[in-house]
Amino acid sequence: MAIDENFVVRTDLALEAQEMNVEADPAQTGPDGVDVTEEQLDDIKVTYVKVDPEGAERIGKKAGNYVTIESQAIRKQDTKMQDELSTCLSKQLKKLLADNGIKDSDRCLIVGLGNHRVTPDAIGPFAIDEVLVTSHLFELQPETVAEGYRNVSAVTPGVMGITGIETSDMIHGIIHEINPDFVIAIDALASRSINRLNATIQLSDTGIHPGSGVGNKRKEISKETYGMPVFSIGVPTVVDAVTITSDSIDYVLKHFGREWREKDRPSNALSPALNPFEKRKELTEEDLPSEEQGQAVMGMFAKLGDEEKRQLIKEVLTPLGHNLMVTPKEVDSFVEDMAHLISAGINGALHAVIEDSDAQSYTKF
């Protein structure tokens, strides 16, 4: 859970951590240990964040590679876009595995983290129901396994409230018994932005860390813990009231900033706010108002940095019991679709025989 108790604002996404860092110290942007590159493929945006040990300390994310894939495919419930997103996930995961030296013959354990009875936390368990497993065939009827399939097994360890066992301990016991060569962990995340809910998939080769995920999965699930590469696939499905408020205040400020800037231009006659039918607009950092203007609109809030603003709102809401974790009303179909898409992407990445574009038909359901 990104929202920890001691008032340090965290995020599960390296991309957001880097943004927060840049924001806090704008002069520093650049190659100081965090390398960011982007690609746009039609409706999908892929961002590669490479964090070296120095950068790790700066942004509070473990050193390693993070790939963020952004698409509105799930939120728009657009089947064709979802197929494309799944194919993209498959390619990116395949590349990340290769970059980490994973060979076709290496055996994989997929772990579906989260609680299958709490829908926004169920992406992991739902995906496990659909991934292709072959480990038992390799063991019991190796002659039936066609060329091009990898040895794959999969587990849903459950959450501590239902099992009474630390998730990382349970995984440790299973790994000890079956000895895979690498692990892929799927998890639901908390987001620091309402815009990223069900619209972002983060891959990494750094595992899963304390405080990550929707539920409370405390101990690290990583190379350090298990002695083998641990990849993670995470999707933000929940956000807290602090984030929603902070984002919204930010938008209000930028909105006024842009309004004032556009006041002098001829197009002013048709203010965006008055025309709800135009294409969805986007506001950027450049739209922020001057300090004086900002203060008129939002008082001291206009002067606060993002972190300070969130900190302050949190200090107010938390004692009131008002800082709920929420999820979009359409959570049932969002989570089901996302789990399906992720399992198809994993199947395509793991088995050489599955063409990316054909991965959908290999899911079990």
Site for a second copy in 271-300 (CB under 8 A): 272-273, 276, 278, 280-283, 294-300
Contacts of 26 (CB under 8 A, 6+ apart): none
Smallest distance from the beta carbon of 150 to a second copy, in angstroms? Answer: 11
Ranges within 224-263 binding a second copy (CB under 8 A): 238-239, 241-242, 244-245, 247-249, 251-252, 255
- Give the C-alpha separation, 77 to 84, whole Å: 13
Q: What DSSP string describes 225-264?
A: HHSS-EEEEEEEEEEEHHHHHHHHHHHHHHHHHHHHHHHT
Pick the stretch among 87-95, 220-228, 269-277, 344-352 that binds a second copy (CB under 8 A). Answer: 269-277
Ranges within 181-210 binding a second copy (CB under 8 A): 194-195, 197
Structure tokens at 48: 């590669």
Residue 60 or 328: the one with the smaller Cβ distance to a second copy is: 328
Q: Kindly tell me the sign of the dihedral angle through the C-alpha atoms of 349, 48, 7, 288.
A: negative
- Give the C-alpha separation, 16 to 191, whole Å: 9
Burial class (CB in 10 A: 0-12, 13-18, 19+), 192: buried
Residue 101 or 321: the one with the smaller Cβ distance to a second copy is: 321
Smallest distance from the beta carbon of 303 to a second copy, in angstroms? Answer: 10
- Give the C-alpha separation, 111 to 92, whole Å: 19
- Give the C-alpha separation, 112 to 59, whole Å: 27
Ranges within 317-356 binding a second copy (CB under 8 A): 317-322, 324-333
Residue 53 or 161: the one with the smaller Cβ distance to a second copy is: 161
Q: Quick check: 221 binds a second copy (CB under 8 A)?
A: no
Among 17, 67, 302, 342, which residue interacts with a second copy (rule: CB under 8 A)?
A: 302
Residue 160 or 354: the one with the smaller Cβ distance to a second copy is: 160
Q: Quick check: 173 binds a second copy (CB under 8 A)?
A: yes
Residue 115 or 206: the one with the smaller Cβ distance to a second copy is: 115
Q: Quick check: 31 binds a second copy (CB under 8 A)?
A: no
Residue 48 or 301: the one with the smaller Cβ distance to a second copy is: 301
The residue with tokens 């900190």 is 311
- Give the C-alpha separation, 274 to 168, whole Å: 52
